[in-house]
Amino acid sequence: MSQSDAKVIALTYELREGGPEGDLLESVNKEQPIEFLFGAGRLNQSFEENVKDLDEGQAFEFLIEADDAYGQVNDKAVVDLPKSIFVIDGKLAEDLLVEGNIINMEDQEGNPHRGKIMAIGDEKVKMDFNHPLAGMDLHFQGKVIRRREPTRDELNQGYVKPEE
């Protein structure tokens, strides 16, 4: 990202699955808009491409297909883990082991992963490590609230500092 291309963009949106009539997945209002440093790579590239040339006050509507969003559901990301890995200080962490819970875990190299508990058996726990939006086409409709030049600190850090 060149410094001349960098912009801080604040926007509101509704995110729906598949299209404008799809299930509402997320809503961001003008009281708490999302604000980001364009080009810093913190948001989905297709999303950024769709809003990069919009002016303050401009409305938008676009669809990002699953392959360009969070990809398709990967069956290999659904795994059975031994129940024993949920033993902490000699006791099974039953408060964590609830179907539907999303928990933070690490792989053998220490990389963080978020997984959803799908089923709990006597010896195994089935977990899904796919992104929650995997396999979905994402429809965004919203408006640019603010657009401004980033501060030097924002450029150096690669993100927008929340207002204090």
- Rounded-to-integer distance, Cα 54 and Cα 124, Å: 49
Concatenate the DSSP letters of all residues of 21-79 into one string: TSPEEEEE-TTS-EEEETTSSSS-HHHHHHHTTPPTT-EEEEEE-GGGTT-S--GGGEE
> What φ, ψ does residue 59 adopt, rounded to 5°?
-85, 155
Please state the length of the chain.
Answer: 164
Do 23 and 115 touch, CB atoms closer than 8 A?
no
- What pLDDT score was predicted for residue 88? 86
Going from the N-terminus, what domains does the chain have, and what CATH number goes with each?
8-70+135-157 (3.10.50.40), 75-128 (2.40.10.330)
Rounded mean pLDDT of 99-104? 94
Give pLDDT tens digits for 116-152. 999 999 999 999 999 999 999 999 999 999 999 888 8
pTM: 0.80
Tens-place pLDDT, residues 23-64: 999 999 999 999 988 877 778 889 999 998 899 999 999 999
